[in-house]
Amino acid sequence: MAVPNRSVGVQEFLVGSREKGALLLDVRSPSEFEEAHIPGALSFPLFDDAERAQVGTLYKQEGREMAVERGLEFIGPRMADMVRKAKELFSEEPDRRPIHMYCWRGGMRSGSLSWLLRTAGLPVVLLHGGYKAYKQTLPGFMGQEWPLVRVGGYTGSAKTAVLHALADAGEQVVDLEGLARHFGSAFGNLHRHAQPTSEHFRNLLAEALSGLDPHRRIWVENESRRIGNVHVPEPFYKRMIACPALEMLRSMEDRVTHLVGMYGDFDAVLLRHAFEAIQTELGGPETREALAALEVKDLATAARIALEYYDRTYEHGLQKRAKDNRHPVDAQGVSLEQCAERLMAAADGMGL
C-alpha cells in the first residue's frame, strides 16, 4: 500500500530538506541538474536528456496522453532499478527523514516518481511548483536588507584570507569567491576549476545566507558584478554596494608577500599565461619584464609589476563609484588575525 503523499511550499520544503538525515532528489534531466539545482540535491533523473526532449515534443504536438505513454515506455524497464537505488540511498542514514523530491514544475516527473516510491513504501515530500517555484523566491530573498559589511582593499591585500580569519573569530562571513571558485582576476583560476553557472552560484549564495542570522553583521568581499564567468545576483549586488566598505590599507610589501605566498607553488607556465592575458593593458615592456622575472623565479618582481596594473584598474573603479560608502582601516605590517581584529574594531566603532 502506498504511503500518503505530501506536497509543500518552498520554505517548508527547504527546511525539511536541510534536516539531518534528509534525502533531497532532483528528478529533472542531467543537463537541467548541471545547469543549476537546489544545493544538497542528488541527481536522480526520471528521463535522460534525449528522453526528456522526446516526451516534451510529444506533449506539445500530440498532447498529454501520448507524452505519458512514451514516458512509460522509457521508464517501465527501469522502475525496479529506480526503486532499488532509492531504497539504498534512503537506508544509508539510520534516522532517514522523508525523501524530498522536485522536478521543474512539480508536475508529471516528480509526481510519477513519487507514486512509484510511495508504492514501494518510501515516504516522499514533493515541492509544490517544483524548482521553478524555488527559483521565483530567490530575487526577493537575495534583495533583503542584509546587514553586510564589505571588506575592500587593493589586489593582494589578502581579503579572502582575512575573511577566513574573521570567520575563525566567530564573525558571519560569505566567501563569494569561494562560492564562485575564482579569485576574480586573470590570476584567479589558474587551476582552471570549473565554475558554477551564474544561476547555480545564486543558489549557492542563497544557501549560504539561509544559514546566517540576519540580525548580525555579515562580512563579504567588496566584489564587482562579475567573478570570473559568474555574475553576482543583481538584487544582492545592489544591497551589497549600499552597505559600508571597510578599506584595508596594506603596504606594497604586505601585498607582494601575500601574492608570492599565494602563487609561489603554481606552475610558471600558468603564471606566464596569466601575464600574457593582460599584456594589452599591462604594456609590452612591462609584460616582458614580468616574464623575465618568472624565468629566474623572481616572483616578487613579477608580483610588483602585476600590482601596478591592478592598482590602476582598482583606482579607476573607485573613481566610477565616488559616492561609495568607504572607510579606511590601517592594516599595514600586521598579521591576518590582526587585520581581522582591526576590521571588527572599526565595525564596532561604527555601530555595524
Model confidence pLDDT, tens digit, residues 238-280: 999 999 999 999 999 999 998 888 877 777 787 888 888 888 8
How much is the average pLDDT of 146-168?
95
- CB proximity list for 254: less than 8 A, separation 6 or greater: 156, 157, 158, 331, 332, 333
pLDDT tens across 211-247, in order? 999 999 999 999 889 898 899 999 999 999 999 999 9
| Residues 42-73 pLDDT 10s | 999 999 999 888 888 888 888 777 787 887 88
In terms of domains, do 61 and 31 share one? Answer: yes
Looking at 110, 139, 168, the residue that finishes a domain is: 139
Let me know whether 244 and 96 are in one domain: no
Tell me: do 333 and 195 sit in the same domain. Answer: yes
Classify residue 91: in a domain, yes or no: yes
Residues 118 and 73 in one domain: yes
Domain count, the chain: 2
What is d(CA 250, CA 255) in angstroms, rounded to the nearest whole number?
7
- Residue 2 DSSP label: P
The CATH number of the domain where 77 resides is what?
3.40.250.10
151, 269: one domain: yes
C-alpha to C-alpha distance for 334 and 134, rounded to whole angstroms: 44
Which residue has cell 601575500?
Answer: 258
Distance, CA of 344 to CA of 347 (rounded, Å):
5
Domain shared by 135 and 150, yes or no: no
pLDDT (average), residues 4-19: 89
For residues 118 and 48, what is the distance between their CA atoms, to the nearest angstrom? Answer: 22
Q: Which of 93, 124, 139 is the last residue of a domain?
A: 139
Confirm if 47 and 71 have CB atoms less than 8 A apart.
yes
- How far does the chain reach from its first CA to its final CA, in angstroms? 57
Does the residue 79 lie in any domain?
yes
Q: Which domain holds residue 315?
A: 146-349
Give me the pLDDT at residue 107, please: 82
Same domain, 250 and 296: yes
Domain boundary among 122, 139, 156: 139
* 176 and 112 assigned to the same domain: no
Distance CA 197, CA 181 (A): 11
Is 257 part of a structural domain of the chain? yes
- 103 catalytic residue (yes or no): yes
Q: Is residue 343 part of a domain?
A: yes
Least confident range of 3-17, 45-59, 178-192: 178-192
pTM for the predicted model, two decimal places: 0.89
- Residue 19 shares a structural domain with residue 158: no
CATH of the domain at 246: 3.40.50
- Asked if residue 212 belongs to a domain, the reply is yes
Distance CA 15, CA 305 (A): 50
Statement: residue 1 has pLDDT above 50: no
One domain, residues 223 and 315: yes
Given the residues 14, 103, 293, 307, select the one marked as catalytic. Answer: 103
One domain, residues 130 and 162 = no
Residue 316: CB atoms within 10 Å: 9
- Looking at the fold, whether 314 and 239 belong to one and the same domain comes out as yes
pLDDT of residue 3: 55
